[in-house]
Amino acid sequence: MSKIWKCPIDDPRFDMINPYQWVVYARLLSEDKEKSFEKDLHLVEYLASFWNYEAVKKIRDLREMEKSERFDSAEKFEEKIKTGKIVDDEVLDILKEVTKTANYDDNNADLKKGARNVRLPKENQTVFNLAKKRFE
């Protein structure tokens, strides 16, 4: 505040400010900084658009999308949990395909199985290739 008012740090007017006024001053300062940042950002985007308009447009669209659709509403999220559709089906299909030959138990397997009952990988060729490279 002393920089803004151009006064020494031990100026008597600081003693007269109550805590509520300090909160208001802090909020006003943060709003001013945010407005200044937005103004500088728009100026940079304007100048950069002369060199690569498409890239500036993509960046701006991504930033605006993140602001508006970053999180689902509470109702949408609750509905996804109830239906079990938190992750898209296509993502799950990709994960299932990638881990098909891995040494993982199925999700529906008996939880009492021990380490001796874990199924072996279905594709042994990659294991053989790794061992062959190792010992050559």
The domain locations on the chain are 1-70, 88-136
Interatomic CA distance for residues 1 and 82, integer angstroms: 51
The pLDDT tens digits of the residues spanning 42-97 come to 899 888 888 888 888 888 887 877 666 656 677 777 887 787 777 666 767 777 77
pLDDT classification of 118: cutoffs 50, 70, 90:
low
Using DSSP's 3-state secondary structure scheme, residue 109 falls into coil
pLDDT classification of 37: cutoffs 50, 70, 90:
very high
What angle, rounded to 10 degrees, do the helices at 53-69 and 19-48 form? 150
Interatomic CA distance for residues 101 and 106, integer angstroms: 11
Give the rounded percent of residues in the chain with a pLDDT score beyond 70. Answer: 68
Site of tokens 């949408």: 76
